[in-house]
Amino acid sequence: MTMAHSEAGTDLNATALERSARNEQLRLLSLCAPALLLIGIVALAPMGWLSGLSFVGKDGLTFANYERLLHPSYQLTLMSTFQLAFVVTAICLALGYPLAYLTAQMRPRAAGLVLLCVLFPFWTSLLVRTYAWLVILQRKGIVNTWLENLGLIDEPLRLVYNFTGTTIGMVHVMLPFMVLPLYAAMKSISPDYLQAAASLGAPPVKAFWQVFVPQSIPGVIAGLIVVFVLSLGFYVTPALLGGGKVMMWSMQVERAMEVYADWGAASALGVVLLVMTIGVLWLISRLVGIGSLIERD
C-alpha cells in the first residue's frame, strides 16, 4: 500500500512539473509575442507580398517572370553572384582566422586596439570606402604607382572594373563580420585545454589543430554564414568596382525596377535569390550539423 501511494505521489509530482514547465513556456512565449508580431509585420509580410507580385503579370497570374530567368544572361549573373560570394567568404576566412587567433592571444589592451582597427571601417560610409578603393586600385593609383616605381611591373595592372577589384572591395567590407564571431568563439576556449594537451606530449602545432581548431568551429560557421549571406546581396561595391563588367543578382533587381519598372520581374529575382540562399544554408546545416555545434558550444 505504501509503495502504491509512493508511486502515485511520484506521478503527481512529475505531472505538476510538466504543467509548470508548460506554463513557463507559455509565459515566455507571451513575452516574445510583441517582438514576433513586429518581425511578422516588418519582415514576413513584405516578403509574402513580393512573392505574390512575382506571379502577377499584365494579364493576371502568370509564370512568365520566372520563365524569363531561364535566359543565359540571368544564369550567368546568378553564377557570378554565388562565385563572388564563395570567393569573398573563403578569403575572409583565410585572413580572419589568423587575425582573430592572434587577437585572442593578446593582452586585453592590445586586443582592444586591434578590434578597434577591425571595427574602424564600420564608422566610414560604404560609398566613401568604395571610392577610396577606386583611387587606390586604378591604373594611376597608389598600388600601380608603387609597383612601377619599384620596378616590379612594366605596365599598370588591371585591379579595378573587374572581378579582382570587386573581390578586394567586398573583402574589405566583409572581413569584420568574420573576425568578430571568430574572436568571440576563441576567447571562450580555456587555455587549460592546450596546456593539458602539452602535458600529454602533444606538440604545439598538433595541439592547435586537434584541440583549439575543433572548439573554434562554431565561430567559423557563424562567420561563414554571415559573410556569405551578406555577400549575395551586395550592390554598391560591385556596381562601382565592377564597372558594369561584374553583374550581381541585386543589380538585376535594380535594373528591373529602375529601367523597366517591372515589379513582377524584380520580385521573381528576389524570391529566387531567397530560396537559393535558404537552400545553401540548409545544405550547410546538414553537412556540418549546426544544431549539434550550438548545443556543444
Poorest-pLDDT segment among 54-58, 185-189, 246-250, 273-277: 54-58
The cell numbers describing 211, all together, are 584541440
How open is the CA angle 87-89-93, to the nearest 5 degrees? 115
Q: pLDDT-based confidence at 84, cuts 50/70/90?
A: very high
The cell numbers describing 247, all together, are 553583374
pLDDT of residue 14: 65
Which DSSP category does 152 fall into? S
Residue 181 has pLDDT above 90, yes or no: yes
Residue 289 has pLDDT above 90, yes or no: no
- Residue 248 CA to residue 236 CA, distance in Å, equals 10
Cα–chain center distance at 239: 20
pLDDT of residue 292: 47
- Residue 57 CA to residue 31 CA, distance in Å, equals 42
Q: Please enumerate in sequence order all residues whose Cβ is within 8 A of that of 250, keeping only pairs 6 or more positions apart, or say none.
A: 81, 233, 234, 235, 238
DSSP run (H or E) holding 57: strand 56-57
Rg (alpha carbons) of the chain, rounded to whole number: 26
- Residue 194 CA to residue 186 CA, distance in Å, equals 12
**Upper half-sphere CA count for residue 167 (Cβ side, 13 Å):** 16
3-state secondary structure of 68: helix
Q: Tens digits of per-residue pLDDT, 121-135?
A: 788 888 888 888 988
pLDDT of residue 295: 47
- Taking residues 268-294, report their average pLDDT: 75
Q: Are 208 and 224 in contact (CB under 8 A)?
A: no
Strongest mean pLDDT among 43-57, 63-77, 210-224: 210-224
- Check whether domain 67-296 has CATH 3.50.50.60, yes or no: no
Q: Tens digits of per-residue pLDDT, 13-43?
A: 667 677 777 777 777 777 777 887 887 787 7
Residue 293 has pLDDT above 70, yes or no: no
Q: pLDDT-based confidence at 12, cuts 50/70/90?
A: low
pLDDT of residue 168: 92
Q: Are 263 and 65 in contact (CB under 8 A)?
A: no
Q: Tens digits of per-residue pLDDT, 100-118?
A: 999 998 888 898 898 888 8
Residue 297 has pLDDT above 50, yes or no: no
Q: What is the average pLDDT value for the chain, to the nearest integer? A: 82
Q: Tens digits of per-residue pLDDT, 192-251?
A: 888 888 888 888 888 888 888 888 998 999 899 999 989 988 888 888 888 878 888 888
- Amino acid in the structure at residue 12: L
How open is the CA angle 189-205-171, to the nearest 5 degrees? 70
Q: Please enumerate in sequence order all residues whose Cβ is within 8 A of that of 220, keeping only pairs 6 or more positions apart, or say none.
A: 93, 97, 182, 185
pLDDT of residue 294: 46
Using alpha carbons, select from 91, 66, 93 the residue that is nearest to residue 273: 66
Domain boundaries, the chain: 2-53, 67-296
- Residue 190 CA to residue 99 CA, distance in Å, equals 18
- Residue 82 CA to residue 70 CA, distance in Å, equals 17
How open is the CA angle 256-57-53, to the nearest 5 degrees? 70
Residue whose entry in the numeric block shows the C-alpha cell 611591373: 153
pTM reported for the whole predicted model: 0.80
- Taking residues 252-269, report their average pLDDT: 79
Residue whose entry in the numeric block shows the C-alpha cell 510538466: 18
Using alpha carbons, select from 243, 248, 240, 247 the residue that is nearest to residue 133: 240
